[in-house]
């Protein structure tokens, strides 16, 4: 797993970020989702290491990265705070500007990074996501039925108790489906009560401070200043919930395009080659 890559850690505001780095070429930051770690990218990294310098961190609050301190307003677990820490990481590695791709919860961090740091992000790719505000404003019975965990995870204490009773039974996953080393890293992370808590704080921030930041952007007329690629899994539910996913994003970006990936939700593990090809076609194209 991650042949030729180095596993390392760097100090940023808040604590230490665990990450892998390897490859050659322009910098590309890859952000995982819940409840994975950076190891979810291991197959994609194998496809892309000859074309890009890949930086694959554990998000703050996830895996082996620092656990943000609790605050009543959940601001330390906000996507703004996490994106700031990851921009610090990239600067520490010598990358003043870079491209970024984020999946699931990582997509919200990537989006916030591009909104808050437009001079840093050259290109943005969002995988299986729409802005949190869009999801909540469009919430209907179908969303509540399928994405009930958003609202459960945002409750105090009870989610930690439910998940902590048997994390592997709660989340699922296997070495056969994920690869032995990826699964071992994932299993270690979700078995830590402190990590379970800070992963859930990510959802609590989502329904409070994060959605407030999205509303502020709309009120002030801010849009993404970089190109945007939106990818969604064919066997997941984004088109079922939102119809034209690209159209949803046009409220937030002028330069947006999209495509589906023949996969279930965890596309980096299930369809790594197709995802890598989509990245190459997008990130290799010169910026207009």
161-211 pLDDT, tens digit per residue, is 999 999 999 999 999 999 999 999 999 999 999 999 999 999 999 999 999
Biggest CA pair distance of the chain: 51
Buried/exposed code over 173-185 (b: 16+ C-beta within 10 A; e: otherwise): beeeebbeebbeb
Q: Is the pLDDT of residue 58 over 90?
A: yes
Q: Cis bond leading into 35, ω under 30°? A: yes
pLDDT at 288 > cutoff 80: no
Quote the pLDDT of residue 211: 98
- Please tell me the pTM assigned to this model: 0.97
Amino acid 286: pLDDT = 79
Question: Which residues does 219 contact at the CB level (< 8 Å), separation at least 6?
Answer: none
Which residue ranges form the domains of the chain, and what is each CATH number? 6-283 (3.40.50.1820)
DSSP 8-state symbol, 72: T
Q: Are 101 and 110 in contact (CB under 8 A)?
A: yes
Mean pLDDT in residue range 132-160: 95
Placement of tokens 């209907």 in the chain? 140
Give the active site residues. Answer: 104, 265
3-state secondary structure of 284: coil
């Amino acid at each position: 797993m991650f042949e030729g890559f180095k596993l390392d850690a760097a100090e940023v505001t808040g604590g230490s970020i665990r990450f892998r780095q390897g490859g050659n070429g322009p910098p590309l930051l890859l952000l995982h989702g819940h409840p994975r770690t950076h190891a979810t990218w291991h197959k994609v990294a194998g496809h892309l290491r000859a074309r890009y310098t890949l930086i694959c961190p554990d998000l703050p609050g996830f895996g082996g990265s620092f656990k943000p301190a609790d605050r009543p307003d959940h601001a330390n677990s906000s996507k703004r705070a996490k994106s700031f820490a990851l921009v610090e990481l990239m600067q520490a590695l010598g990358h003043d500007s870079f491209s970024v791709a984020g999946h699931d919860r990582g997509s919200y961090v990537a989006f916030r990074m591009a909104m808050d740091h437009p001079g840093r992000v050259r290109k943005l790719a969002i995988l299986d996501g729409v802005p949190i505000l869009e999801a909540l404003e469009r919430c209907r019975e179908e969303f509540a039925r399928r994405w009930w965990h958003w609202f459960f995870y945002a409750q105090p204490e009870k989610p930690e108790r439910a998940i902590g009773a048997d994390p592997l039974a709660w989340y699922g996953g296997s070495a056969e489906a994920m690869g032995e080393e990826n699964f071992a890293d994932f299993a270690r992370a979700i078995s830590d009560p402190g990590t379970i808590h800070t992963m859930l704080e990510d959802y609590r921030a989502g329904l409070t401070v994060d959605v407030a930041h999205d509303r502020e952007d709309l009120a002030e007329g801010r849009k993404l200043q970089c190109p945007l690629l939106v990818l969604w899994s064919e066997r997941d539910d984004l088109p079922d919930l939102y119809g034209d996913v690209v159209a949803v994003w046009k409220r937030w970006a002028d330069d947006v395009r999209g495509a589906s990936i023949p996969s279930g939700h965890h596309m980096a593990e299930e369809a790594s080659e197709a995802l890598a090809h989509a990245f190459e076609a997008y990130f290799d194209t010169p910026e207009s």
